[in-house]
């Protein structure tokens, strides 16, 4: 049985839901520019309006309140509070997160504040972005600003969401901004993100001694596409970039063996101590296993592969394997020795309202049932799992897929911005309610 204080939450991120891209002095982010380039995003979608959460956050808090969630993980848009990435803060942007945090607390929902979910200020990209070592200082200053402002009300701070995704997709595979396929740039970025994490942990602790700080890592088994030895080596390398390049230096104080030599040119004396700062918990995002195949022509020597047709897959083609989730939780808990929170898990689909205007999403309900049951199995096997957040509260801007792939518990009718809780939202509310009622007579 899960502990009584187990946290049941939902997650979102700034660029994916806020919209209001030019409101109240927000500066441009790398995603604003990248999304506008034809061919980058399905259907030419952008995050300009998204779910208009910037104006509708009260309604969104009410939705969470009705669902009964205990915690909400959101991210602060760095360019909304520091339009140039550093220098003068934007009071109107800061005030938005005051309103959001106050609204959450009034509804009895704990805010989990993430500092970085990929929307780097464009002004910093123009100075080299994650390739510039100075960014660790820019990031620490930003972390200080945010911690100082909200630390009286927020205790849970996240330095980064999925650093391996935005680094590999942005610098290795050219699927995200800055759209590069350059091994050296990727290795440089990995190291500077790790330095920023360490500097950010220190900055948050200086401002908020009671803070509980963590970083969120996607952890997913990396599988070879075929039985060939080349594909096996490709999967091992993808595993190093995807599952290890960040948690190992941050928590264990070293880079994975397969990457150490590649990153070495960017490492200065004392850097690993700067990176390995004490954290309070470990965030795991997990959806499915991932696949790799050898590709001698690719800058990294491997290519990302779609899940093969002979495995069970979700409507958007991701492998369904709850046992892999269970094993990941057991392994992460053992390996890193920190309390584990599942900060994202959920299912993508392309559903639409039925003739009664209801959203029936049985595949998502089945997914959530299977994955929460796997989580219980991991806990029973000794994994120190303390919370679970569904991705996502709302349908939202799903990066390269635009609005085509829906992950929300709540459906968003984009033309009207009407929110409709799906069958899965009702299921999640019942689960939370029954957990809360456990042992209450």
162 is catalytic: yes
Q: How far is the CB of 354 from ligand IFM (least distance, A)?
A: 25
**Within 13 Å and on the Cβ side, how many CA atoms surround 319?**
22
Binders of ligand IFM among residues 241 to 300 (CB under 6 A) are 285
Q: How far is the CB of 187 from ligand IFM (least distance, A)?
A: 22
Q: Which is nearer to ligand IFM, 14 or 122 (CB)?
A: 14
Contact between residue 174 and residue 252 where contact means Cβ atoms under 8 Å apart: no
- Catalytic-labelled residue, pool 18, 207, 248, 344: 344
- Catalytic-labelled residue, pool 162, 248, 351, 398: 162
Contact between residue 12 and residue 115 where contact means Cβ atoms under 8 Å apart: no
344 is catalytic: yes
Q: How far is the CB of 229 from ligand IFM (least distance, A)?
A: 31
Q: How far is the CB of 16 from ligand IFM (least distance, A)?
A: 6
Q: How many chain residues touch ligand IFM (CB under 6 A)? A: 8
Among 162, 248, 271, 395, binds ligand IFM (CB under 6 A): 162
d(CA 36, CA 39): 9
Contact between residue 346 and residue 398 where contact means Cβ atoms under 8 Å apart: no
Binders of ligand IFM among residues 15 to 74 (CB under 6 A) are 16
Contact between residue 420 and residue 413 where contact means Cβ atoms under 8 Å apart: yes
Q: How far is the CB of 409 from ligand IFM (least distance, A)?
A: 13
Q: Dihedral of the CA atoms 169, 132, 76, 253 (nearest 10)?
A: 80
Among 398, 408, 419, 425, binds ligand IFM (CB under 6 A): 398
List, in sequence order, the alpha helices (H) in 208-300.
229-239, 247, 257-263, 271-275
Among 60, 119, 248, 344, binds ligand IFM (CB under 6 A): 344
Among 166, 391, 411, 427, binds ligand IFM (CB under 6 A): 391
d(CA 130, CA 124): 9
Q: Which is nearer to ligand IFM, 21 or 203 (CB)?
A: 21
d(CA 401, CA 393): 18
Contact between 13 and ligand IFM per CB under 6 A: yes
Contact between 407 and ligand IFM per CB under 6 A: yes
In this structure, what are the phi and psi dihedrals at residue 403, rounded to the nearest 5 degrees?
-95, 5
Residue 54's H or E segment, with its range, is helix 53-67
Q: What is the CA radius of gyration of the chain?
A: 20
Binding site residues, ligand IFM, CB under 6 A? 13, 16, 162, 285, 344, 391, 398, 407
- Provide the annotated active-site residues: 162, 344
């Amino acid at each position: 049985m899960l502990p009584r204080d187990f946290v049941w939450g939902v997650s979102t991120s700034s660029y994916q839901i806020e919209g209001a891209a030019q409101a109240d002095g927000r500066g441009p982010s790398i995603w604003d520019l990248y999304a506008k380039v034809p061919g980058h995003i399905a259907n030419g979608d952008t995050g300009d309006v998204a779910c208009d959460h910037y104006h509708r956050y009260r309604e969104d808090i009410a939705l969470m309140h009705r669902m009964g969630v205990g915690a909400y993980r959101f991210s602060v848009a760095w360019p909304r509070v520091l339009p140039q990435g550093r220098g003068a803060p934007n009071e109107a942007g800061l005030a938005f997160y005051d309103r959001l945090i106050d609204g959450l607390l009034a509804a009895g929902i704990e805010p989990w504040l993430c500092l970085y979910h990929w929307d780097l200020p464009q002004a910093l990209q123009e100075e080299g972005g994650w390739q510039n070592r100075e960014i660790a200082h820019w990031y620490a200053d930003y972390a200080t600003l945010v911690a100082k402002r909200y630390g009286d009300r927020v205790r849970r701070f996240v330095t980064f969401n999925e650093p391996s995704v935005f680094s590999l997709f942005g610098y290795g595979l050219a699927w995200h901004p800055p759209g590069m396929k350059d091994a050296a740039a990727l290795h440089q970025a990995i190291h500077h993100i790790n330095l920023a994490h360490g500097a950010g942990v220190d900055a948050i602790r200086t401002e908020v001694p009671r803070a509980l700080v963590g970083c969120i890592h996607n952890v997913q088994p990396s599988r070879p596409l075929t039985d060939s030895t080349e594909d096996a080596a490709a999967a091992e390398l993808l595993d190093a970039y995807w599952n290890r390049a960040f948690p190992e230096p941050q928590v264990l104080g070293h880079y994975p063996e397969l990457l150490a030599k590649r990153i070495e040119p960017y490492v200065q004396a004392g850097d690993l101590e700067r990176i390995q700062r004490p954290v309070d918990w470990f965030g795991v995002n997990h959806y499915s296993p991932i696949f790799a195949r050898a590709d001698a022509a690719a800058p990294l020597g491997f290519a990302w592969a779609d899940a093969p047709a002979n495995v069970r897959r979700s409507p958007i083609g991701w492998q369904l394997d709850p046992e892999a989730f269970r094993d990941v939780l057991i392994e992460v808990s053992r390996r890193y020795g920190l309390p584990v929170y599942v900060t994202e898990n959920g299912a993508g689909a392309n559903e639409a309202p039925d003739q009664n205007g209801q959203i029936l999403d049985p595949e998502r309900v089945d997914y959530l049932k299977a994955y929460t049951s796997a989580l219980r199995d991991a806990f029973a096997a000794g994994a120190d799992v303390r919370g679970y957040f569904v991705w996502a509260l709302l349908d939202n801007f799903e990066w390269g897929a635009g609005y085509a792939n829906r992950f929300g518990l709540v459906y968003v009718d984009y033309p009207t911005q009407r929110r409709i809780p799906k069958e899965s939202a009702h299921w999640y509310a019942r689960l939370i309610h029954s957990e809360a009622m456990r042992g209450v007579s």
